[in-house]
Amino acid sequence: MRIDIILIVAFYFVAPAVILSACKRFPLLKKIGSIAIAYILGILLGLSKLLPDDIYATQDILTSITVPLAIPLLLFPSKVKDWFHLAGSTIKALLVGLFSVLFTVAIGYQIFSPEGDPEFWKVGGLLVGVYTGGTPNLASLNVMLGVKPATYIMVHSYDLIIGAFYFLFLITVGQKFFNYFLPSFKKSISLSSSEIEGNTEAYDMLFNKKAWWPILKVFGLAVLIFAVSGGLAMLFPEDYLMIVVILGISTFSILASLIPGVNKVKESFDLGMYLILVFSIVVASMVDLTNLASPTFEILGYLSFVIFGSLLLQLIISKFVKTDTDTMMITSTALICSPPFVPVVSGALKNKEILVPGITIGIIGYALGNYLGFIMAELLHHWPL
């Protein structure tokens, strides 16, 4: 491996420690939040032109490893019995989220569909797939619908760019903004004050020698769960790879959380959040804003309308059905961004309780994405409004 790649990887893993130290020293940075700072830092790194042109493969590996390892570490300290009261609100939020995406895709098609383009209906199918499921659904529907390579690349690129602004809004001012319209989340899990406030001093235990052995044990268990889930995924068709991996990791992690020796390692959550900070920097540095230099305005406008329009519609409906802010935000994150981003928003909101419901919604979205995307594409093609 080249020295420049090694240095960049080292930066990705060391930068979170610097961010946490800065948040500890400066109250303003602590108020902004370590995750938001990590995301901003990643975007600035991507814009700086310091990254080599062939860094994408390394970034892809890092994003594919950090979240699957973080999810078990975040779930190990969980109290499973406290999740059941969320079942009703989770189902309600999922239905509202799915309807919001489907409705805005259908309406947006009528607004942005250009005259003389006989294949724009395929874009509608792609958007339903990626915003109810994720990138695996986008790739699957690309094959199912026979989308032109140029169209697929534009949709994927614009998704990364506009999605970055959407995501940055969620993890910075989203909670405060939505709290003006929706009720706040009522926490039921007993957390220490440092956990609730997101105190950066909690991360100090990661660098305490006394905590290294229990941390090493839970990290080893997380690696084992990742490996077993990845092995199980090999038994399924490629289209189901991400579904099986995330579902396997979540299931085995929840079962492991029932083991007292695993559940009581509180530093596990801090290590998981550290990996989420690494992921945040890496994924933000992958955003390429140069794709906006010569945009296809119909696709760019359509995609932006679906992302922010579905969020607005979800907010309006959530107001009437009395869904709380955190549940609405984690649902939108799981659908628009996919499950790997759920822990990031959960951490930014300082709410552990919505982690599992959010991942569950994302997994359901993965499972439904191909079906809903294909059905929407056919409806737009044969029965336009």
Residue 202, pLDDT score: 52
Q: Which residues of 40-57 are buried (b: 16+ CB within 10 A; e: fewer)?
A: bbbbebbeeeebeeebee
Residue 31, pLDDT score: 75
For 23-37, the pLDDT digits (tens) are 888 888 877 778 778
Q: Give the start-to-end residue ranges of the domains of the chain.
A: 3-382
188 pLDDT tier (thresholds 50, 70, 90): low
Q: Which residue did the predictor score with more confidence, 345 or 139? A: 345
Is-contact 77 266, C-beta < 8 A? yes
Would you state the structure tokens that stand for residue 231, as one six-digit string? 């092995």
| Highest mean pLDDT pick, 75-84, 166-175, 262-271 | 166-175
Q: Which residue did the predictor score with more confidence, 77 or 83? A: 77
3 pLDDT tier (thresholds 50, 70, 90): confident
For 153-168, the pLDDT digits (tens) are 788 878 888 988 898 8
Given a cut of 90, whether residue 185 has pLDDT beyond it is no
Q: Measured between alpha carbons, how far is 56 from 232 in angstroms, rounded to an integer? A: 27
For 215-265, the pLDDT digits (tens) are 888 999 999 999 999 999 899 887 777 778 877 888 898 888 888 888 777
**Residue labelled with tokens 């969620």:** 170
Q: Tell me the CATH class for 3-382.
A: mainly alpha
Q: Which residue did the predictor score with more confidence, 212 or 145? A: 145
Q: Measured between alpha carbons, how far is 173 from 151 in angstroms, rounded to an integer? A: 33
Given a cut of 80, whether residue 203 has pLDDT beyond it is no
Distances (CA, A) of 363 to 120, 225, 265: 28, 17, 27
**If we measure between CA atoms, which residue out of 358, 380, 335, 383 comes closest to residue 99?**
335
179 pLDDT tier (thresholds 50, 70, 90): very high
Given a cut of 50, whether residue 343 has pLDDT beyond it is yes
**Taking the complete model, does pTM exceed 0.75, yes or no?**
no
Mean pLDDT of the region 92-103? 95
Residue 194, pLDDT score: 40
**If we measure between CA atoms, which residue out of 329, 38, 313 comes closest to residue 175?**
329
What is the CA 30 to chain-centroid distance, rounded? 22
Q: Measured between alpha carbons, how far is 10 from 32 in angstroms, rounded to an integer? A: 24
